[in-house]
Structure 1
Amino acid sequence: MKDATRQRLIDAGARVFAADGVQGARIADIAREAGVAIGTLYTHFPDKDALFHELMREGKLMVIEGLIMARESAGTRAGRDRAAMEGVVAFAQVYAPLFRLLLARGSGDPMQREVVDAITDLRVPELEEGQAGGWIRRDLDPRAAARCEVGAVFHLLDWWIDNPGQYTAEQIVEQLCIVRRFGVEGAGALADGGNLPPPPAAGSMTS
């Protein structure tokens, strides 16, 4: 029961922090959102900062462990990319407020920076391996490219959370895979069985 109440407080904190910001969030609002008395909240966390740090720590572990599992679950680059994107999209669907807290950079909070840094650190070796194998452009800076990918994923999913009727989850996964495989890896992705889209017809305009 105690663990269940603690988790309710963490979930409620994610919603309130996402809506009001870390500075604007109030202990009373978090307790109300969780359906508990303020005193109950204080038996689990000494203050709202402790609650924020716990939910960020928990969220970071969920994301990083999920990405590592995705990387180890498939034998091909295309399979690993899809597994990673499926996991991220599912996480954004189920834990939308927490997802936004984890990847938002505007607050400058060091915990939020740690999450983005950790995701970047996982991707950089893959890009370096791709450069060594010839399937990623050699003129790309792996760390800069990894941060571009994190930003692209976050901004698309941040928009999609508010507009779920625009695309299905599968369509979002597919677009993220295309951007990752062909936007970064380019023609080298063909070595792993990918297919580049056909070139536009002569004289045609593309949007």
Structure 2
Amino acid sequence: MMRAWKIVSGGLFVVILILIAAMLWQNQQVKKELIRDYILHHSNIEYSLRLFIDEYEKSQDTEQLADDLFIAYGAATVTTRKPVNIHQLTGIPYINNVDFLYEIRDQFDFYLPGAVKAASDDARDGELTEAQYQNLQGYQQLLLEFMELTVDEDFGEKSVSDFEDDFKTFYEKNEVKISELINN
């Protein structure tokens, strides 16, 4: 009887260890997915801004730029939201933060929609200033640098710590540029 109890206890212990390992692995996978989604969303915004800026430089049509920037504004506002409806293996909603992701979000993404919206509104009124236009170009360039740093041939193979290093490098390298864009 005692031997059977030890076998059952040992088996239960092994099952618990396997479940813990699976949950830790899954936690890393969810974090990677959140980070990849964040990066790909920013690449979409960067591409849109680049396209809209190029079209504006060719046509000098502020009304068209205003319409285009309104679309970019919608995409930029999504960057300030927290992800929803992500569930772990147990079915429990995922609530763990990716701290470095939110640090960048607080420092950079929070101000991006406002800059795009202000430029869109002023372009619609025909009052787009050179400073606003340069601000848009600055955001587009920062987003491009972010993409070049984070998206490379091993994008799918990167670990959470690799992404964390990329984010820290980006922020440290561009802290002054980000501050200048925010304060313009």
Q: So what's the TM-score if we normalise by structure 2?
A: 0.30
Which structure has more RCO (C-alpha within 8 Å, separation ≥ 6)?
2
Q: So what's the TM-score if we normalise by structure 1?
A: 0.28
**Which has the higher Rg, Structure 1 or Structure 2?**
2
